[in-house]
Amino acid sequence: MFCVCIACGSHERMIAEMKRLKEDNVGLAELRLDILRKEPDFLRIIKSPRPPVIVTARRPSEGGLWKESEEKRLRLLRTAIIEGVEYVDLELDVAVNIPRFGKTKRIISYHNLTETPDLYKIREEILKADPDIIKIAVMPKSIMDVFRMLDFMKDVNKPGEKIKTVGISMSECGAMTRILANKFGAPYAYSSFSEKREIAPGMLYYKDLRDLYRFDDINAETQVYGVVADPIRHSLSPLIHNASFKEHKLNKVYLPFRVAPEDLTDFVDNFEKIDLCGLSVTIPHKVAILKSLTNIGPAVKEIDACNTVIFSEGKRIGFNTDYMAAILSIQSAMGLATDQKGPLHGKRALVLGAGGAGKALAYGLKEKGASVIVSDGREEAAHELAAYLECEWREWAGREKEKVDILVNCTPIGMYPNLDQCPVDGSILRPGMVVFDSVYNPEFTWLIRQAAEKGCTIVPGMEMFVGQAALQFKLFTGEKASIDLMRKLVKAALSAVHEPEDD
């Protein structure tokens, strides 16, 4: 079960949101009375149509906004108990002053906004205060604090444990403690009513928790997959992989893992703690993750970058699906067979960008027989890549002088929100040239639009993004993903970027 936090400034809005959650068959809501701008009219609120609720009024020291006296706050909580609400949330230090009464169940909570202290010691103190449910929300300083919370939850929420514990690492890197709450035996997880409101760090929108991650279907046997990056917030990978898991009726879930570079090794070393079976790897970890792998495929060795990891029988096996997806999409657009070794023999290709994507594309083009030139605004990076792959390089200022058959953009130039930027002058584009852009947001960049007008064969970045995801899905599951489903979901997500959110 998940709980939706209602945290708004007006009584009218709080009542309307409770009604909406009831109509949406949400099983539990938390009423954050400390957020109300006026003194809470509790009877007006509680007598309105609503789902079962947790009543709380949080102080600033616990991340709340209560501005009135402590006496008024305690009186409000006692009133909630007298009125027989389903749950009341009491902090550990005040629970001893508010005795149990009637049918209202007691959630006794501890919040620490700065660190993750001794979780077992806190739980022992809360147990002395007569709880029905224990809530511990703390701030992690590293990924190891998050794993420590998950280990703790698994231990204290064993089957048969009478008093269950909600454990939360309050940060984006701790979002897994919320999404995987069912897997670790927690009685429920907290979520937000609106995408626009960040009530607590790492809290997810309830419709995402319910529909995207299929929260209610997660259990102890659910296998975990995800994408590791920093930042991670706008990744579309959870959208397409979770939809594909659902389509194939698989007990798997795909999470966004925000992991700082200094935490990457610890994250990979502890993969078994969350039953992590597969991982997509993106910026800035594609190279750094190599040192944590036990086995790598030939392409990873040549490209020196990994975007996919499979965890199997203690092994960590690295693959690169970026280059395969990009080359397959280029060959397909050119009408060439995709199973030939050198179908691009005799073609001259210019790759813009010497980062991870540029390296993957340059390697793939060269492997298929093309003569490759690389160019980057960082000339040293272009020179190093050309030396590594034994191909040519050009200064960035001279990139437009090259007459090529294939132009590949692996820079972020033209990516949202810089929609009017282009990595080359449109005058160098000519009919018959193949133009590939790794940027997929927007779907049709200024480069791709100009290329289409000039009669070029175009390959938008969405084809690479969807293609590499489909190849990953095959590695993850052994089953074939629906390219059409993935493409449809990505297009819908990108078209919704500028639309107003429903609040």
Tell me the catalytic residues. Answer: 111, 135, 286, 322
Count of helix runs (H) and strand runs (E) in the chain: 17, 21
> Alpha helices of 287-441 — where are they, by DSSP H?
298-303, 321-333, 356-367, 379-389
In angstroms, rounded to a whole number, what is the distance separating the alpha carbons of residues 289 and 431? Answer: 41
In whole angstroms, how far apart are CA 136 and each of 3, 33, 123, 156, 222? 15, 20, 8, 12, 24
Handedness of CA 76, 80, 81, 82 (dihedral sign): positive
Matching residue, tokens 């690295």: 318
In angstroms, rounded to a whole number, what is the distance separating the alpha carbons of residues 326 and 346? Answer: 19
8 Å CB contact between 204 and 178 = yes
Give SS3 for 105: strand
Neighbours of 366 (CB within 10 A): 18
8 Å CB contact between 170 and 202 = yes
- Helical (H) or strand (E) element with 435: strand 434-437
Nearest to 279 by CA among 209, 208, 224: 224
Nearest to 109 by CA among 88, 128, 135: 135
In angstroms, rounded to a whole number, what is the distance separating the alpha carbons of residues 381 and 268? Answer: 28
In this structure, which amino acid lies at residue 303? I
Matching residue, tokens 């020196």: 304
Measured torsion, CA atoms of residues 68, 71, 74, 79, in degrees rounded to the nearest 10: -90
In angstroms, rounded to a whole number, what is the distance separating the alpha carbons of residues 72 and 197? Answer: 26
In angstroms, rounded to a whole number, what is the distance separating the alpha carbons of residues 405 and 373? Answer: 11
Starting at the edge strand found earlier in the chain, the sheet holding 392-394 runs 392-394, 371-375, 348-352, 406-409, 434-437, 457-459
> Alpha helices of 421-460 — where are they, by DSSP H?
446-453
